[in-house]
A and B are shown apart, each in its own frame.
Chain A
Amino acid sequence: MKVLMIIPAYNEEKSILKTIENLKSVNSSVDYVIINDGSSDRTKKICEDNNLNYIDLINNLGIGGAVQTGYMYAFQNNYDIAIQFDGDGQHDAKYISDLIDAISKGNDMVIGSRFIEKTEGFKSSFMRRQGIQVLSTLIKICTGKKITDPTSGFRAANRKVIEYFMREYPVDYPEPDTIVKLLKRGYKVKEIPVLMKERKNGKSSITPLKSIYYMIKVCLSIIMASLSSKGEN
């Protein structure tokens, strides 16, 4: 099975190389592609100099547009599984095989969740966890399925979902939105436990100021996604 790691990178000059080296040392059987999302720092230069496999976007499209480019690339190059993986070192490459296993067992999308097991590891700040709880409850109401970590960006998709994402992917804050859309269209979504690390460099895409805006927007997108069940099954 051909597996592609999609690594969106926006101004990740400090961590991108480490992320790739770590990925290769832990799991060398998977391919990867970095999506340089119009970074204004030296991210592109680092990719070039170290001969990393990267795609260069001339505009900053935001996380949604960048990740979608990765799915387009995965589809065009006949990958069976595409796994989203953050370029800032939050995600741990040792769980990649768990994600692949779960896809092999017939799931369409598998999400690495911080909240399934009562383990340690980085679980975000208190306020963030409350936000995640609200989204989780809302998804439960809209779809009937319990998703413990809807904002997790560590997720694997099979060929069917890759094809779907290639056609349709939300522009920003895509994680919770896509879960609802997939569930509504009858795809099988499963969560597996993972530990995450606190990011070393770079900031979260969600600053405190934006968090209320984020919640309103994401809640609206979840509700809209659950209402428009017209999509093909």
Chain B
Amino acid sequence: MQLKLKLFLIIICLIFDLFIYRKVEKGKLQLRYSLVWYLVSLLLMLFTIFDNILNPIKDFLGFETTSNMIFLLGFFLLSLIVFSVYIKLSEQNIRITKLTQELALLKKEIYSNEKSDK
């Protein structure tokens, strides 16, 4: 990899890290959900700086080029993250449904108690 490209990628990663940090600081992103993005950034930086360590892995797995491998593995990693978000989404849906139902029944109970008190 050319030095220029390496520097460019590293700067991008550092800006991304800063961005995550700011979001967590402002309370827009929970700390536990920031970890996975720090990991993505860290991996990208490691692969940029030590791009030679990927060569044996590339040969072992049988990829033509390192970039091909990065793309495929990156795709898998992102798919995994998106899938976990879907699981979280379903969980939140179930919770909101429960909450709405309990609230509705509680409102109903309070309202009918008020009516019978009068």
Given contacts A65-B100, A65-B101, 14 further A-B contacts (CB under 8 A): A35-B104, A55-B104, A55-B105, A57-B101, A57-B104, A58-B103, A59-B96, A59-B100, A61-B100, A69-B105, A72-B105, A73-B105, A76-B105, A171-B97
Task: Spell out B's residues near A (CB within 8 Å).
Answer: 93, 96-97, 100-101, 103-105, 107-108
How many A residues, CB 8 Å from partner? 14
- Chain A residues within an 8 Å CB radius of B100: 57-59, 61, 65
Task: Spell out A's residues near B (CB within 8 Å).
Answer: 35, 55-59, 61, 65, 68-69, 72-73, 76, 171
20 pairs of residues in contact across A and B, judged by CB atoms under 8 Å:
A55-B105, A55-B108, A56-B104, A56-B107, A57-B100, A57-B104, A58-B100, A58-B103, A58-B104, A61-B97, A61-B100, A65-B100, A65-B101, A68-B101, A69-B101, A72-B101, A72-B105, A73-B108, A76-B105, A171-B97
Give the complex CA separation of A23 and B103 in angstroms.
27
A171 to chain B, nearest CB (A): 7
A170 to chain B, nearest CB (A): 11
- Chain B residues within an 8 Å CB radius of A73: 105, 108
Which of B96, B97, B101, B107 has most A Cβ within 10 Å?
B101
Which of B103, B104, B105 has most A Cβ within 10 Å?
B104
B84 to chain A, nearest CB (A): 20
Contact B101 A61 (CB under 8 A): yes
Q: Which residue of A lies closest to B100 (CB)?
A: A59
